[in-house]
Structure 1
Amino acid sequence: MESEIVKMLDALRNKEVEEISVEKEDFLSFRAVLVKQPDFKHFRGIAGHGGSVRYQYMDAPRS
């Protein structure tokens, strides 16, 4: 599972995809991997209905 998440984050980081969607039941597992990334602050999560979250990669880190 962790390697799949890292692949998703790499695709987002490398602009292969514009955003990824994470469902409520996968959020905690996904976030555990996300916070370990050295460029964690470049990822922006946008909450959706029902607990899903869309993630985008920003060129500048959030504050």
Structure 2
Amino acid sequence: MGVVALNKEEIEEIIEKLRNGEIKQYEVTKEEFMEFREVLIKQKDKEQIRGEAKKGGGVVYTHVNE
């Protein structure tokens, strides 16, 4: 059984939940990182979504209101 990757729609839904405060943070694995980033960099408010690298290659994303 392989790793189930997030699709573009799921990633956009996660970003929207970060944006509206429905979730405080979301952690992606190193395997999901490139796909998540590809969707994230196309967002109008991408500067407000911050990623913090974790040991092992994962990244925790949070939304910052500035």
The bucket for the TM-score relative to the shorter chain is: over 0.9
Q: Which residue of 1 aligns with 2:4?
A: none
- Structure 1 portions without partners, runs of 5+: none
1:46 positional shift = 0.4
CA distance in 2, matches of 1:8, 1:17: 8
Any idea what the Cα deviations from partners look like across 1:10-62, whole Å, max 9, x if unmatched?
Answer: 000000010000000000000000000000000110000100000000001xx
2:28 aligned with 1:17? no
From 43, 47, 51, give the equivalent of 1:41: 47
Structure 1: 4+ residue segments shifted above 3 A: none
CA distance in 1, matches of 2:17, 2:49: 12
Aligned length: 60
TM-score for both structures, normalised by structure 2: 0.90
The structure whose residues are more often helix, as a share, is 1
Highest Rg: 1 or 2? 2
Superposed CA RMSD: 0.4
TM-score for both structures, normalised by structure 1: 0.94
